Chain A
Amino acid sequence: MQISGHSAKILVVDDEPNIVIALEYLLQREGYEVQKAYNGQQALDCMENWTPDIVVLDVMMPGMNGFEVARRLREIPALELTKIIFLTAKGTQRDKESGYASGAEYYMIKPFDNDVFISTVNEIMAYG
């Protein structure tokens, strides 16, 4: 899917390789450019010279957790426009609030529905 003349870039961050595989397939099927990271540090390293439009972020990861990754991401001026979608098994109201507080725009709970996930991503890319 082509929007505004360039292919949207999406970073998928999850420590579960099988989930990354599924997400990568779904996003590539929609035509997005996908980069993968298996923990927080890898994600931040990746974004130093690659600016994604969307970051799909897991919360419970070894080392740096997703909330921390989001907070650091928000401190980088270059990533001002990057949207953050949390995709996590942590589903309590308090977790959600922490997620929004750390700077995320969307919060989705695992296991997710493929169609809902894709339409969310598409909406973001269509309307910002």
Chain B
Amino acid sequence: MSLSLVIGCSLAYISLLFLIAWWVDKRAERGVSVVNNPYVYALSLAVYCTAWTFFGSVGRATTGGLSFLGVYLGPTLLAPLWYMMLRKIILISKNQRITSIADFISSRYGKSTTLGVIVTLIAVLGIVPYISIQLKAVTFGINTLTHFKSGAAPAPTSFWLDSGFWVTVAMASFTGVFGTRKLDPNERHEGLVAAVAFESIVKLITFSAVGLFVTFGIYNGFGDLFTQATLREDTAKMLTFESSGITPFSWNVLVMLSLFAIILLPRQFHISVVENTSPRHIPKAMWVFPLYLLLINIFVLPIALAGKMIFDAGIHPDTYVLSLPLEKGAAWLALAAFIGGFSAATSMIVVEATALSIMFSNHILVPLLIRMRSIGRNHLVNGAARLLDIRRISILLMLFLAYLYQKSVGSTYDLVSVGLISFTAAAQLAPVVIGGLYWKRATHQGAVAGLIVGFIVWAFCLPLPSMAQAGIISNSFVNEGLFHISFLKPYALFGVTGIDPITHAAFWSLLFNAWTYAIVSVNTQPTMLSLTQADLFVNIHKYISGHEYDILKREAKIGDLKAVLNRYLGETRTLALLSDYQVYNKVVLDDHQTAQADLVSFVETSLAGAIGAASARVVIDSVAKEDPISLDEVMRILDQTREAVQHSRIMEEKNEELKTLTLQLTEANVQLKQLDRLKADFITTVTHELRTPVTSIKALSKIILDDYARLDEERRTAYLQIIVNESDRISRLINQVLDIEKLRSEEPVQQMEQLELTEIVLHAVDGVQQLLTERNIKCTITPTNLSLPVNGNRDKLIQVVVNLLSNALKFCNQQEGRIDIHLKQKDRFVFLGIRDNGPGIPAQARQLIFEQFTQLHSKEQGKPHGTGLGLYITKKIVEQHHGSIRVESEPGHGALFEIILPLSNDEPLDRV
């Protein structure tokens, strides 16, 4: 077959794709979406099946039996899990206008630039080999068609003659045109999706055609084919699981890897999430897509068995799809099969390169250029045109990287192995994505650490050894381990052997990745933005269900809402409800006006009462249209909510403070009133106490004045004595009132110094010695030689002792008066006790005597001399010296007043 025919057909096919894409884009511009359809969505998902599937599965089946099925079983068996995750991811991505998997991860962890770069690098480094095998497959296909049975194609002497190079150029221009036709803020490319869906149909039809040809053209159906296969030892082996050499563990890992890949491979994320037109397409896609996988895999084994039986070892199993029709003379079928493989490759390359270029330009080039602009190179970033150029440059870069990889390393591996290396790379994103979806506590630092560790382990276990085998780097670490440590062999890490390199690498890299992610997350604090984003991602349903936050701005015709209410609630209730709403919200509802979000929510809630929340939601959705909400708006609403919460918290606190203050004021007022009353009482009492002696003085002095001659000597002297005593009483009262005023001001005692209590007592007793002698009272002090240092004001302490002595003098037995003074020290206190042998104090009076103007009266004599302020003043002075006073008494057996003062902390004096 001539090269020009092959190239001509390929170009014609590409032109057809252009035509389809152009037509779809045109219709999209006029507002008619061709791709808004679950079947188109499911078919576009089949971009999963690449040239690897088309050519490589047969090759894999030939060498590894049924093992090729693993990567297709994953999305089928785990469809429910896939459904849950995909739905959530789509809801979040639509809400946040996510443009790529890198954007998704970066956005989840606080819109981190670092994460965007890391994910992009992992994707580029992980996926470039994958793109390279597509290029390889196409080159391989061309060579098979043009050089079948005429010997191997000659090695090209320069890249001008290398068909692989021209394939790359063709792909780059094709992608450049489709992937960057216009700059869409949502990164939606309807033409591209339509072309991809169309290519999926081409893949399926051409592959099935080859399968049918082989099964029913070369053999007489499946029965004949399989019967013949079981007769040969090598082909019979292909039908057993044992021959695949794959352990159950490897099967599980494969299934898991493919589940991750179906979501996380950049092209899958792009097609299934970014290009998704509605989440409603997912349920249908969940069975259409696995069905597609089933159909495209039906003929893999027959073709592989036939190839093995018909060809000898000279034909590469990866080319059976082409070489079988060629061998049997069906050249046109071979050409069609090539176009099928070509379409598998182009769809993969176009979508993958578009997705990667979005990531590369958004997360690496544009931030870099913005940074450069900030140092003055303004012209580099200049509007949308520039941005598209950046995209195109990225695409070229990706594809030529892939070309270089294929030239240098790619030939070492078969198609499937390179594909699985990429799967394992994409799987590194799984922990941070799954964690990001369901684990709020996950932090940016955890994600960065997990990704880096996972990527390093992956790189060490897969691409580095492959590069070593290709001779690019030294091979020694593969066999001997890194730094000659046998535990660090890339195919037998930590001494684990007996599993294939892919499973081995996937196991270790994901284990380290997930644990690092979890441990670092638990030990770091998320930022505020990261927290709000985490809440948005993890609880996306809360944000879109609109119950907690009416975040969706839904609008509907008021007339439509009324009609809905009428249908489910009846006219009477509808009228009642709406008039309630009008009264409460002070609005007038007009059927032709548009209802705002709150009215829509009100109607929905009302409906929910009748038909349940879920049904109400559906009904309202049928009449309301949703305004897309930008991320900024979401953040603004969140901020407002937070501010409102904060504000009300502050108000609450202020209110609490105010309450406390009011309470304190009330209490203070009560205290003030009480003080006021006490003061008034005090003045009344003092007035009375002053008037009483004045009365006696005035009356008696008037008597002496009027009746001086008539009075006898004795009586005159007695009256004059009374006048003197009562005058003393007045001056004493005045002094004590002044003392009390001083005590009331509660100033600290002035002139504190270290004093000897014994010395004070001796001094005080000396002062009243005259009175003691006059009244024949016996006074004892025990002991008199004890050193009792206290801190205090000398005059005040003397006043205290004198007051107590005067008290004792006043009340002691008139005939045989006795006062005993005791001094002692115990622990850090000194004790002074003064005991008299008077009538004692009745129990009910013992506390009262320390109050102002309380005096004990004897029945016979009426009031004793004194003001009733002495003990009060004594108590106050003692308290000012940090001491206390108490009284002990048994009626009839005298009273004991005891003062307790703290011992001085200073060096003891030796004055006594």
Asked whether A and B interact, the reply is yes
Question: For residue B784, which residues in chain A have a CB less than 8 angstroms away from its CB?
Answer: none
Q: Does residue A111 face the partner (Cβ distance < 8 Å to B)?
A: yes
Q: Does residue A60 face the partner (Cβ distance < 8 Å to B)?
A: yes
Cβ-defined partner of B687 (8 Å) among A14, A15, A25, A89: A89
Q: Does residue A19 face the partner (Cβ distance < 8 Å to B)?
A: yes
Q: Which of B863-887 contact A (CB under 8 A)?
A: 863
Encode contact with B along A12-50: 1 for CB under 8 Å, 0 otherwise. Answer: 001111110111011001000000001100000000000
Q: Does residue A110 face the partner (Cβ distance < 8 Å to B)?
A: yes
Let me know if B699 and A112 touch, CB within 8 A.
yes
Let me know if B857 and A15 touch, CB within 8 A.
yes
Tell me the interface secondary structure of chain B in the complex. helix
Q: Which of A83-128 contact B (CB under 8 A)?
A: 89-90, 110-114
Q: Does residue B706 face the partner (Cβ distance < 8 Å to A)?
A: yes
Q: A16-B692, A22-B696 are in contact. Are A38 and B861 (CB under 8 A)?
A: yes
- Count residues of B near A (Cβ-Cβ below 8 Å): 26
CA distance A90 to B681 in the complex (A): 12
Q: How large is the interface on A (under 10, 10 to 19, 20 to 34, 35 or more residues)?
A: 20 to 34
Let me know if A114 and B695 touch, CB within 8 A.
no
Q: A15-B857, A19-B692, A89-B691 are in contact. Are A26 and B699 (CB under 8 A)?
A: yes
Q: A22-B703, A62-B857, A89-B692 are in contact. Are A111 and B722 (CB under 8 A)?
A: no
Let me know if A19 and B688 touch, CB within 8 A.
no
Let me know if A19 and B863 touch, CB within 8 A.
no
Q: A16-B695, A38-B861, A89-B695 are in contact. Are A21 and B688 (CB under 8 A)?
A: no
Question: For residue A21, which residues in chain B have a CB less than 8 angstroms away from its CB?
Answer: 696, 700, 719, 722
Of A15, A22, A113, most buried by chain B (CB within 10 Å of CB) is A22
Let me know if B702 and A114 touch, CB within 8 A.
yes
Identity of the chain B residue whose Cβ is nearest the Cβ of A58 in the assembled complex? B692
Let me know if A17 and B694 touch, CB within 8 A.
no
Chain B interface residues (CB < 8 Å from chain A): 687-688, 691-700, 702-703, 706-707, 719, 722, 725-726, 857, 859-863
CA distance A123 to B598 in the complex (A): 96
Chain B nearest CB, measured from A41 CB (Å): 9
Let me know if B857 and A114 touch, CB within 8 A.
no
Chain A nearest CB, measured from B726 CB (Å): 6
Tell me the interface secondary structure of chain A in the complex. loop
Let me know if B862 and A17 touch, CB within 8 A.
yes
CA distance A28 to B706 in the complex (A): 15
CA distance A62 to B868 in the complex (A): 13
Question: For residue A113, which residues in chain B have a CB less than 8 angstroms away from its CB?
Answer: 702
Chain A interface residues (CB < 8 Å from chain B): 14-19, 21-23, 25-26, 29, 38-39, 60, 62, 89-90, 110-114
Identity of the chain A residue whose Cβ is nearest the Cβ of B699 in the assembled complex? A22
Would you list the 3 A-B pairs with minimal beta carbon distance, nearest first? A22-B699, A89-B691, A18-B696
Question: For residue A89, which residues in chain B have a CB less than 8 angstroms away from its CB?
Answer: 687-688, 691-692, 695
Chain A nearest CB, measured from B859 CB (Å): 8
Let me know if B702 and A19 touch, CB within 8 A.
no
CA distance A39 to B695 in the complex (A): 18
Instruction: List, sorted by A's number, 15 A–B pairs whose CB atoms are closer than 8 Å.
Output: A15-B857, A16-B862, A17-B861, A18-B696, A18-B726, A19-B695, A19-B699, A21-B696, A23-B699, A26-B703, A38-B861, A39-B862, A110-B695, A111-B694, A111-B697
Question: For residue B726, which residues in chain A have a CB less than 8 angstroms away from its CB?
Answer: 18
User: Beyond A18-B693, A22-B696: 16 further Cβ-contacts under 8 Å?
Assistant: A15-B857, A15-B863, A16-B863, A18-B722, A21-B719, A22-B695, A23-B699, A26-B699, A29-B707, A39-B857, A89-B687, A89-B691, A110-B692, A111-B691, A111-B694, A114-B702
Question: For residue A111, which residues in chain B have a CB less than 8 angstroms away from its CB?
Answer: 691, 694-695, 697-699
Chain B nearest CB, measured from A39 CB (Å): 7
Question: For residue B703, which residues in chain A have a CB less than 8 angstroms away from its CB?
Answer: 22, 25-26, 114
CA distance A15 to B697 in the complex (A): 16
CA distance A97 to B699 in the complex (A): 26
Let me know if A15 and B688 touch, CB within 8 A.
no
Let me know if A19 and B696 touch, CB within 8 A.
yes
Question: For residue A22, which residues in chain B have a CB less than 8 angstroms away from its CB?
Answer: 695-696, 699-700, 703
CA distance A29 to B715 in the complex (A): 14
Chain B nearest CB, measured from A54 CB (Å): 17
Chain A nearest CB, measured from B868 CB (Å): 11
Cβ-defined partner of B699 (8 Å) among A15, A17, A62, A114: A114
Identity of the chain B residue whose Cβ is nearest the Cβ of A29 in the assembled complex? B707
Of B691, B695, B700, B702, most buried by chain A (CB within 10 Å of CB) is B695
